[in-house]
C-alpha cells in the first residue's frame, strides 16, 4: 500500500493523465460528522469499455507498455475495503472515467492525508496542458483551486516555472488548512 492518501490519489490522477484527459477534477470531502473521507477523481479521457472496466481493479491489468502491472485502482479499492469504505468506478469510451472512493476517517488503517499541494504540483508538472479542478471540503468549508484560472492570470508565463509550481503547492496547502480551521 501507499504511505498516504495523496499518493493513492496521485496514482489515480496519473491514470487520468495517461488517458489523454484535457480536464481532471479531484474532489476530497473530509467529514468529521460522518466519520468519512470521500475521494472523487473525474476525467474526460478516453474511458474504458465494459470488458476493461470489469477487470480494472485487478493489479494485473495495465495499459502501460513500460510495465505489466497497474496498481493505482487496485490499491484504492483494496484500501476502501480495508478501511470500511466504498468504491465505485464508472467509465464510458470517449467520455471519461469517474472513481468515487470512501474510507472511514478514524479507522486505524486509514493512512494520513499527506501533502495534497505537492500531489497537485506533481499532477500539473505531468502535463501542463490539462486543466485541473481541485476541491477540498470539510463539514463547514470548501476550498477550490483551478489551474485554468492560474494560467489565465500568469498569461505568457508557463505554469511549470518552479516559483509558480511552489506557489501552487503552498496555496493549496494553505487553503486546505484554512478550510480545516473553518476560516476560508
CATH class belonging to 5-180: alpha beta
Instruction: Note the pLDDT tens digit of each residue in 128-159.
Output: 999 999 999 999 999 999 999 999 999 889 99
Tens of pLDDT, residue by residue over 37-94, are 999 999 999 999 998 888 887 665 455 454 333 568 989 999 999 999 999 999 999 9
In 3D, which of 102, 148, 154, 99 has the Cα closest to residue 124? 148
Radius of gyration, alpha carbons of the chain = 16
Amino acid at each position: 500500500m501507499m504511505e498516504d492518501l495523496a499518493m493513492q490519489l496521485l496514482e489515480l490522477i496519473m491514470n487520468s493523465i495517461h488517458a489523454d484527459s484535457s480536464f481532471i477534477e479531484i474532489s476530497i470531502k473530509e467529514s468529521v460528522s460522518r466519520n468519512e473521507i470521500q475521494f472523487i477523481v473525474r476525467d474526460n479521457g478516453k474511458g474504458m469499455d465494459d470488458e476493461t472496466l470489469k477487470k480494472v481493479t485487478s493489479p494485473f491489468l495495465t495499459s502501460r507498455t513500460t510495465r505489466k502491472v497497474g496498481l493505482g485502482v487496485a490499491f484504492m479499492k483494496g484500501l476502501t475495503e480495508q478501511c470500511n469504505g466504498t468504491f465505485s468506478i464508472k467509465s464510458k469510451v470517449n467520455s471519461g472515467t469517474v472513481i468515487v472512493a470512501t474510507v472511514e476517517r478514524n479507522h486505524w488503517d486509514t493512512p494520513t492525508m499527506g501533502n495534497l499541494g505537492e500531489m497537485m504540483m506533481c499532477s500539473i508538472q505531468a502535463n501542463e496542458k490539462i486543466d485541473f479542478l481541485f476541491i477540498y471540503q470539510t463539514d463547514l468549508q470548501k476550498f477550490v483551486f483551478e489551474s485554468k484560472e492560474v494560467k489565465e492570470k500568469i498569461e505568457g508565463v508557463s505554469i511549470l516555472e518552479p516559483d509558480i509550481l511552489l506557489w501552487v503547492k503552498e496555496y493549496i496547502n494553505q487553503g486546505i488548512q484554512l478550510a480545516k480551521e473553518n476560516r476560508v
